């Protein structure tokens, strides 16, 4: 599993819609100071709900909308980020029994989206041996993709709404985090190391450092 594509619309220094295709393995992002490298990482945190506005270097959430957009427009402005994962190879996620637990949850708050998510997520088969695809009932899911979108709408008066979507269907942050946990993406998992995190760890006192392990335990 890996991140296949990022799509940023009016997010921070990105105007219009900017697609960023990604591949598995080792990719470096480089460019001049102030050109938008950290903003790409912020887009990832924003979409997956892994950080608050402070963690994305913004005073308030509305500051994340591209300034040119907010200063030009008279009506509501919108910023959005979509992260598309390629799930090929996730077969080991445990198949059927996943479906049981989530449905229990999903019905509770009546959101269809969660079970829809589940269909894509949980029954992803191990890649079949070549030539055998015709017999698999799920070969329809040729794309084996899973996408998360977050939209931020800001009105002229400065009030805002922020919504999460999984595969285009609305969901709550809690549901999103549950699905992400299943994919082994944890908000406190330290898999995203921000500019300055290394210095932060160095200047922490020893108690704060111990608390990091508490969270993981």
Q: Which parts of this chain interact with Mg ion (CB under 5 A)?
A: 38, 195
Chain Cα centroid distance, residue 56: 14
Tell me if 27 contacts other proteins by CB under 8 A: yes
Tell me if 55 contacts other proteins by CB under 8 A: no
Tell me if 126 contacts other proteins by CB under 8 A: no
Q: Which is nearer to ligand ATP, 119 or 161 (CB)?
A: 161
**Which residues make Cβ contacts (< 8 Å) with residue 195, sequence separation at least 6?**
38
Rounded-to-integer distance, Cα 26 and Cα 35, Å:
21
Distances, alpha carbon 74 to alpha carbons 26, 68, 119, 120, 154, in Å = 43, 12, 41, 40, 11
Q: 8: alpha, beta or left, given left = phi > 0 and alpha = psi -120 to 50?
A: beta
Closest separation in Å from C-beta 122 to other proteins: 16
Tell me if 61 contacts other proteins by CB under 8 A: no
Tell me if 210 contacts other proteins by CB under 8 A: yes
Binding site for other proteins (CB under 8 A): 1-3, 12-16, 18, 20-41, 44, 57-59, 63, 66-68, 85, 183-186, 189-199, 201-202, 205-210, 212-214, 216-217
């Amino acid at each position: 599993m890996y991140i296949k594509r990022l799509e940023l619309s009016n997010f921070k220094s990105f105007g219009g819609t900017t697609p960023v295709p990604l591949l598995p393995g080792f990719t470096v992002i480089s460019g001049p100071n102030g050109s938008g490298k950290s903003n790409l990482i912020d887009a990832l945190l924003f979409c997956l709900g892994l950080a608050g506005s402070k963690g994305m270097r913004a005073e308030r959430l509305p500051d994340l909308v591209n300034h040119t957009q907010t200063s030009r427009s008279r009506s509501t402005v919108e910023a959005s980020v979509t992260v598309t994962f390629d799930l090929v190879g996730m077969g080991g996620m445990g198949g059927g029994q996943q479906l049981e637990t989530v449905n229990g949850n999903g019905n509770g708050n009546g959101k269809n989206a969660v079970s829809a998510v589940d269909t894509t997520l949980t029954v992803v088969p191990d890649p079949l041996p070549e030539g055998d695809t015709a017999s698999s009932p799920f070969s329809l899911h040729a794309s084996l993709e899973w996408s998360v979108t977050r939209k931020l709408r800001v009105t002229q008066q400065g009030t805002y709404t922020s919504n999460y979507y999984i595969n285009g269907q609305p969901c709550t942050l809690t549901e999103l985090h549950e699905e992400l946990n299943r994919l082994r993406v944890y908000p406190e998992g330290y898999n995203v190391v921000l500019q300055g995190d290394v210095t932060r760890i160095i200047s922490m006192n020893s108690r704060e450092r111990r608390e990091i392990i508490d969270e993981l335990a």
